[in-house]
Structure 1
Amino acid sequence: MINERVAADFLGYTVRALQNWRVRGGGPDFVKVSSRSIRYRRRDLIAWAESLLVANTTQADNR
């Protein structure tokens, strides 16, 4: 499991984006180790990114 900084780098997003997704939903699954410790599994990050794949811009508008 990796911390949020490494996860953000892996996805190409900011740590702040991951934090916002955890509050609002819509981001990758995460593991809450403790109240101050969040971790991500690489396979969950990959699965989340793959769920966003589209073949053309029309598909992106239908989300």
Structure 2
Amino acid sequence: MDLQDNESANGTAVTRPANTAIPDNLDALLTRADTGAALRAAGYPVADATLATKATRGGGPPYARFGNKPLYRWGDALAWARSRLSAPAHSTSEHEAA
């Protein structure tokens, strides 16, 4: 398997499969599995099952249905993941105070 080094959302180096595609087009429609894979490739550790659970209970990225398949707009999924990211901190006490 080919691997490539990338920078995660918090700036640390992360090695991940080179064949995982992060869409260039924010309007691209992705299946749940492709959305999870693209978010992970972008550095956000979210499981496909988490997206499914949040689609049922709320709190996840918006999606549309194409027949019985949920499709996520890449820009919406990326904005959702970014909104869950905390501000940088130098210690855990900084997060606890927030």
Same fold (TM over 0.5): yes
Unaligned runs of 5+ in 2: 1-28, 41-45
Which amino acid in 2 is paired with 1:48?
W
Q: TM-score, normalised by structure 1?
A: 0.77
1:54 maps to 86
Distance in 2 separating the partners of 1:19 and 1:50: 18
Q: Which ranges of 4 or more aligned residues in structure 1 deviate by more than 6 Å?
A: none
Structure whose CA Rg is larger = 2
When the two structures are superposed, what TM-score results if normalisation uses the length of structure 2?
0.53
- The residue type paired with residue 4 of structure 1 is R
Aligned pairs, how many? 60
- Which one has the bigger strand percentage? 2
- By percentage of residues, which structure has more helix? 1
Percent of residue pairs identical = 28
After superposition, residues 18-37 of structure 1 pair within 5 angstroms as 18-34=51-67, 36-37=68-69
* 2: CA distance, partners of 1:53 / 1:15: 18
Higher RCO structure, 1 or 2 (CA under 8 Å, sep 6+) = 1
Where 1:44 maps in the other structure, the secondary structure is helix
- Measured in 2, the distance between the counterparts of 1:15 and 1:50 equals 17
Give the root-mean-square deviation of aligned CA atoms.
2.0
Q: Equivalents in 2 of 1:4, 1:31: separation in Å?
A: 11
